[in-house]
Amino acid sequence: MKKGKIPLTAIAVLLGLGAALASNVQRATPHKTFAWDQTTQEWVDVTGQTEGVDYLCNESQNICTAQFTNDDPKTGQIIPPSEVKGNYQNLD
């Protein structure tokens, strides 16, 4: 009688694994950050760089850095909370 039955612990393990896989939520990847270079009139990828170390955003009402909906400043829309005012200055 015991040969044909699956042990209760095996069922519990399988159910636990199934629930863990079903609830696995993918995390959103952060958007790239771009700076508007007034000199070249182009967006510069500053992702991973630190303001005050790698570049400055000098006081201005212009856009210094921003993130874009599709990580492409040529075709994407600026994500409003990511916008930082100022003039970009590279410190390299």
pTM to 2 decimals? 0.68
Q: Are 45 and 72 in contact, with CB atoms under 8 Å apart?
A: no
Asked whether the predicted pLDDT for residue 27 surpasses 70, the reply is no
Going from N- to C-terminal start, the domains of the chain cover 33-90
Query: What are the structure tokens assigned to 18, written together?
Result: 């199934």
- How many Å apart are CA 42 and CA 12, to the nearest integer? 58
Predicted confidence (pLDDT) per residue in 46-78, tens digit: 999 999 999 999 999 999 999 999 999 999 999
In 3D space, the residue among 23, 28, 86, 32 whose CA is nearest the CA of residue 57 turns out to be 86
Predicted confidence (pLDDT) per residue in 28-43, tens digit: 668 999 999 999 999 9
